[in-house]
Amino acid sequence: MNKINIGLIGFGTVGSGVVELLQKRKVFIKNRFDSEFVIKTICDLDIKKRDTRGLKNTQLTTKIDDVVNDKDIDVVVELIGGLSPAKDIVVNSLKSGKHVVTANKALISNYGKELFKIAQENKCHLYFESSVGAGIPIIKSITEGIVGNKFKAIYGIINGTCNFILSEMSEKNCSFEDALKEAQRLGYAESDPTLDINGMDSAHKLAILAQLTFGKFLKVKDIYTEGITQISHDDIEYAKSLNLTIKLLAIAKKTNNKIEARVHPTLISKNHPLASINSVYNAVYLDADPLGKILLSGEGAGKMAAASGVISDLINFASKGADRKLICNLYDENTKLSLGNIDDVETKFYIRFLAADKPGVLSKISGILGKQGISINSLTQKAHNKTAAVPVVMLTDYTTEKKLRTALNAIKKLPAIKGTPVAIRMEKLW
């Protein structure tokens, strides 16, 4: 029997889920993998407030060193999130010969290269399946299941909060504010949802996926990131009328020696599989050679979904041991690749203006777009209203980000334009 002692740091929602799942699957793991996981120590600053029933043989502590410095602990499970003290916990654990399982997307996206090197130098493994998509096996799929493929592109719905909000706005005809409140009521959004709704959570996860597929470590701050706060109910309705839907997509593409990496609301066809990913579900759509298109989907957040990924990592370690290199821990990178500039990205755009209903306004807008070489594929204007501004929606042909932004800056200076124009990129995924 392979007995593995675990030191768990962070006994919140996910941590308690890990303990619960290990207890439920104890017999199965023994019979199937000839292994026994023993939760030797749990460290949490609020351990006295946690429900620790059923853990009478487990050491409960508030001191991180009780885990990191314990020579009898084989694997440290870090579930506190953030960069500090999480980074020190992982570094010190690896240097002391302990393997590490984490769900920490910020840590892996910012310091993955450094941590993977430390892991290999100390003949240890660093597992992080739950850092992207919770229990969806995207890390393992990329680094084992389809590792022989050459990856062309990644399209990910990898933030459950944003996907829930956009789904609510579409299905229940509610505002962004009302959808956010519902997400918070149901526990799908934090009291401070900033990192979710501004796209940064997705950017961290995209950095991890780009490294695994393209072999390039991207800095999160260099990934163009835009959230969903500017999306209105009007945009949702216009999208429906065009047989499109709006999703917050994390996109990475490799063309020659350039990587295009961006996170933003995106209009996609309702006929595409990603369009059916709703509520808190996540999905990653990969374009690979020779496999072709592949879609992985499931619950991307939540207690048991994230715990499932952590347990998968633990079993993966128990069944295969430490006598091999993990492909997901490789720290060499393709130095020939560089990150492209968002200004050079070429897409079609949906543009919405709030314009005063006066003669000549549309011709002025069209003239500014034409000056940048931007063609208009269609135009929609609501019924005339002499006393108020009305929405004007245009769909453009392919143009670069730089040209579009130059045109919008000029358009919003027109006296007839009220507020800031909204631009949403359109993506053809087939």
Bridge partners of 258? 255, 338
Bridge partners of 246? 267
Residue with tokens 């389809």: 146
Domain 2-132+304-329 has CATH 3.10.450.40: no
pLDDT in the model for residue 366: 94
pLDDT in the model for residue 227: 97
Digit-coded pLDDT (tens) for 238-253: 999 999 999 999 999 9
pLDDT in the model for residue 1: 76
pLDDT in the model for residue 383: 64
- Catalytic entry in 87, 205, 216, 303: 205
pLDDT in the model for residue 135: 84
* CA 73 – CA 402 distance, rounded (Å): 54
Closest-CA residue to 271 (of 241, 235, 298, 245)? 245
- Taken as a whole, the chain contains a residue count of 430
Domain boundaries, the chain: 2-132+304-329, 138-300, 345-426
Residue 311 CB contacts under 8 Å (≥ 6 apart), including other chains:
18, 21, 22, 25
- Return the half-sphere exposure (C-beta side, CA atoms, 13 A cut-off) of residue 365: 26
* CA 57 – CA 407 distance, rounded (Å): 66
- Write the DSSP symbol of residue 329: G
Closest-CA residue to 104 (of 187, 36, 201, 16)? 201
The reply to whether 345-426 shares the fold of 138-300 is no
pLDDT in the model for residue 380: 86
pLDDT in the model for residue 152: 96
Q: Is 205 assigned a catalytic role?
A: yes
pLDDT in the model for residue 323: 67
pLDDT in the model for residue 423: 97
pLDDT in the model for residue 386: 62
pLDDT tens digits in sequence order for the chain, 430 residues long: 799 999 999 999 999 999 999 999 999 999 999 999 999 999 999 999 999 999 999 999 999 999 999 999 999 999 999 999 999 999 999 999 999 999 999 999 999 999 999 999 999 999 999 999 998 999 999 999 999 999 999 999 999 999 999 999 999 999 999 999 999 998 888 889 999 999 999 999 999 999 999 999 999 999 999 999 999 988 999 999 999 999 999 999 999 899 999 999 999 999 999 999 999 999 999 999 999 999 999 998 889 999 999 999 999 999 876 667 888 999 999 889 999 999 999 999 999 999 988 888 899 999 999 999 999 999 987 666 666 788 899 999 999 999 999 999 999 999 999 988 999 999 988 7
* CA 390 – CA 228 distance, rounded (Å): 22
Domain spanning 138-300, CATH class: alpha beta
pLDDT in the model for residue 131: 97
pLDDT in the model for residue 387: 62
336 CB-contact burial (10 Å; exposed 0-12 / middle 13-18 / buried 19+): exposed
Q: What is the DSSP string of 94-126?
A: HHTT-EEEE--HHHHHHHHHHHHHHHHHTT--E
pLDDT in the model for residue 225: 98
* CA 209 – CA 383 distance, rounded (Å): 45
Task: Measure the CA dihedral 367/401/132/153, to 10°.
Answer: 110
- Write the DSSP symbol of residue 331: -
When the candidates are 3.20.20.370, 3.30.70.1230, 3.40.50.1820, 3.30.70.260, the CATH number that belongs to 345-426 is: 3.30.70.260
Closest-CA residue to 353 (of 426, 276, 423, 266)? 423
